[in-house]
Chains A and B, each alone.
Chain A
Amino acid sequence: MNEIVHTSSDLGSGPVVVHVDASFEPLVPKFMTNRKKEVTTMTEAVAQGDFETVRKVAHGMKGVSGSYGFPEMTTVAARLEQAAKTADAGSIRNDLAALASYLDRVEVVYD
């Protein structure tokens, strides 16, 4: 369904192009909006020491991003989920910052 084109591991720092089946175009904008909301939710949660919320949201993100064909996001979400289990706030903050940047840079191309 999707093809990822990027130049570095995980989320990288440059432009990211993700190819998505054109028939799913109506779903992607909401998908992206919801992922950004989740980053905000997790950022607020880790600031409050609420690692359970981070874990739950990351778990959900892991599944849905994989389903839509964003494997880098899946990888980071899985890492966030694990970091939440060990209450590793520093790692969580780093990954959330990278994820926020990624979501701002990613360009979806419909095939």
Chain B
Amino acid sequence: MSRTILCVEDEQDTSALLKAILEREGYVVVRAVNGRQAICLIETMLPPALILLDVILPYVNGFELLAALRLNPDWKHVPIIMVSADSCGADIERAPALGANDYMVKTTGIKDLVQKVTRVLSPSTDEDRKTGTGDRVCPATVTPVARRPKARARRAAPTNDRKGGAK
């Protein structure tokens, strides 16, 4: 079964390119063109295997969506890669602090998209480690999420046959 990726990107040509690249790799791509549409999808669809989330979006920006996703009990464990046209340090630091698993710069990094997606989605032995919530992060690219609450029961690791995530 193919894995589903939710792509939240308002720039239509970028969205089309992301879709083409990911579909070529065998993923099913669902797209939202703004923050409001993303929120509707969050309320209606099963959590995907991964979210590509643009930083600058109409109505609700990427960081606001990121924070909301990390509070949603059904979606908080979905890996998220923030996507931006900017490579400024502030956003790159802010992304993992709010719960993103990785950050990709469109201007130079889209060639790394497949590699980042594969790395985030692949269960690894040495690279992955769980936070206190049981979430998986990739320490090679992401600073540990400092804001996550500590007093949570450990959850079982996400498996490949998770709803919407199996390939």
Contacts and interface: CB of A to CB of B under 8 A. Distances in A.
A59 B20 CA distance: 22
B85 A60 contact: yes
A31 B13 contact: yes
B159 interface: no
Assign chain A's interface to a size class. Answer: 10 to 19
Given A59-B56, A74-B107, A64 B20 contact: no
Contacts of B108: 66
Chain A contact surface mostly: helix
Interface stretch (A22-30, A84-92, A100-108): A22-30
B14 interface: yes
Contacts of A63: 11, 14, 84-85, 106-107
Interface in A13-57: 23-24, 26-27, 30-31, 34
Interface of B: 11-14, 16-17, 20, 24, 56, 84-85, 105-108, 110-111
Interface of A: 1, 23-24, 26-27, 30-31, 34, 59-60, 62-68, 71, 74
